[in-house]
Amino acid sequence: MAALGYIEILDVKGNAIERHGIESFPVSIGRAYTNQVIVGDPYVCPMHLTIAPDEQGRLIARDLDSVNGLRGQAGDRVATLEIQSGSQFRIGRTSLRYCSVDHPLAPTAVDGIELVSRLTSPFAAVAAGALVLMALCLESFLSSIERAKAINIISEPLPIIATMLGWAGLWSLASRIVVSHFNFAPHATIACVALLGTSLLGIGSEWLEFFFPAIPMLWLLGLLGYGLVLAGLVYGHLGFASFMRSRARLRAALAVSIAVIGMNTISYFAARSRFSTVMEYTGVLKPVDASLLPATSVDQFIAGSQKIKSELEGLALKAKVSQP
């Protein structure tokens, strides 16, 4: 006989962990083995609940004078409850859902494995490596202020490439130990992408500093960016070097990233509070048409410098207190 529907026993997140086919009504639910749906929950009575259609054909769940009762989706205790396809209710500490056989389903998910395998193929690693090399050579060329020689421009990024390959190699070793596969190509691709991300962040923060020097703590924004790149790096590597599920990897990646950002921030403030004869200012200059630059007036600049005076007075006061 074909099933009319299913009673699903749900976990705390609402996912079905057991399904019981319903071939006819009434359906009895409880802890006793005489029930059609047996629920192994000590807070559920042996004969806890029945579901049966009424005169109008509506499905009604009825509490059989149980100890802990029947509760609707809102959590209030009821004697009877109208049930439709998808309705959730609770007996004891167990959540249940009724679904008819024609209950609508979510669209089929696209399997991302094919895309991932393409991105982690040796070809992708070579392409990413070439891109990194080009980017580093370009950076080396633009940062050179002497007559550029090709050999210097190409040789300068080589230590960085070597370090990156070493990094990918270490992760490959970890992969070999944990998942029995080296996965060197995907680890190298991930390292390349992270390096490119770091370079782009560096360029972005320089331009931001140049255009908006008045924004305080702009470096913190850059640090957050680096934190995200680091989280992505760890998340990606763990995907190929462990059996961790996606959420666990994300948590691990964020933990590492937050720890690194935290340590950097602490060391920045520690260094700032130490005495130094160095003037720290953002002196980045860019070849931009002056009309595009937001600028303050001379008066505003001079008036704004009063903040330096206040800050120095605070520092002087602090120094006097701390000096014997």
Partner 1 sequence: MKRDIYLIAWVLVLLALPMRGAFGVQLTAGTPEIFKQYSEHVVKIEVVETASAAKASIGTGFFADKLGRIVTNYHVISKLVHSPERYRIVLTDVAGQTSAASVLGVDVVYDLAILRPDRRPKGFLALESKPVEQGTRLYSLGHPRDLGLTIVEGTHNGLLKHTLYPKVHFTGSLNPGMSGGPTLTQSGQVIGVNVATEGNQISFLVPAERAVALLEKTSSTANPAAASFLADVGRQIHANQTRYLEGMFGANTPRVELGPYDLPTKPTEFFRCWADALRRKELPYVSISHDCSTDDYIFVSSEQSSGIVRFFHQFLSTEELNPLRFFTLYSAQFQAGNAVMFGNEEEVTPFRCQTRNVNAAKGKLKAVLCARQYLKLPGLYDAVFKVATLGGRNAGLVSTLSLSGVSFDNVQSVSRRYMENIKWQR
Q: Which of 43, 141, 182, 219 binds partner 1 (CB under 8 A)?
A: 141
Helix (H, G, I), strand (E, B) or coil at 130: helix
Q: Of 107 and 287, which has the nearer Cβ to partner 1?
A: 287
The answer to the question of residue 114 lying near partner 1 (CB under 8 A) is no
The answer to the question of residue 321 lying near partner 1 (CB under 8 A) is no
Structure tokens at 194: 């992270």
Alpha carbon distances (Å) from 35 to 103, 198, 248, 255, 300? 24, 62, 39, 48, 82
Q: Of 73 and 296, which has the nearer Cβ to partner 1?
A: 296
**Taking CB under 8 A as the criterion, which residues in 208-227 touch partner 1?**
211, 213-214
The answer to the question of residue 283 lying near partner 1 (CB under 8 A) is yes
Task: For residues 281 and 308, give the distance between their C-alpha atoms in angstroms, rounded to a whole number.
Answer: 13
Q: Of 25 and 141, which has the nearer Cβ to partner 1?
A: 141
Alpha carbon distances (Å) from 141 to 111, 132, 164, 283? 43, 14, 20, 21
**Taking CB under 8 A as the criterion, which residues in 286-305 touch partner 1?**
286-291, 293-298, 300-302, 304-305
Q: Do 85 and 97 contact (CB within 8 A), yes or no? A: no
The answer to the question of residue 281 lying near partner 1 (CB under 8 A) is yes
Q: Of 15 and 143, which has the nearer Cβ to partner 1?
A: 143
Q: Of 57 and 294, which has the nearer Cβ to partner 1?
A: 294
Q: Which of 146, 151, 159, 270 binds partner 1 (CB under 8 A)?
A: 146
The answer to the question of residue 320 lying near partner 1 (CB under 8 A) is yes
| Nearest approach, Cβ of residue 143 and partner 1 (Å) | 5
Task: For residues 239 and 141, give the distance between their C-alpha atoms in angstroms, rounded to a whole number.
Answer: 35
Contacts of 300 (CB under 8 A, 6+ apart): none
| Nearest approach, Cβ of residue 315 and partner 1 (Å) | 4
The answer to the question of residue 151 lying near partner 1 (CB under 8 A) is no
Task: For residues 305 and 94, give the distance between their C-alpha atoms in angstroms, rounded to a whole number.
Answer: 66
Q: Of 101 and 200, which has the nearer Cβ to partner 1?
A: 200
Q: Do 38 and 32 contact (CB within 8 A), yes or no? A: yes
Q: Of 34 and 276, which has the nearer Cβ to partner 1?
A: 276
Any long-range contacts for 167-171 (C-beta under 8 Å, 24+ apart)? Answer: 167/191, 171/237, 171/240, 171/241
The answer to the question of residue 282 lying near partner 1 (CB under 8 A) is yes
Closest CA to 65 of 56, 77, 76, 53: 77
Give the binding site for partner 1 (CB under 8 A). Answer: 141-147, 211, 213-214, 274-291, 293-298, 300-302, 304-305, 307-309, 311-313, 315-316, 319-320, 323
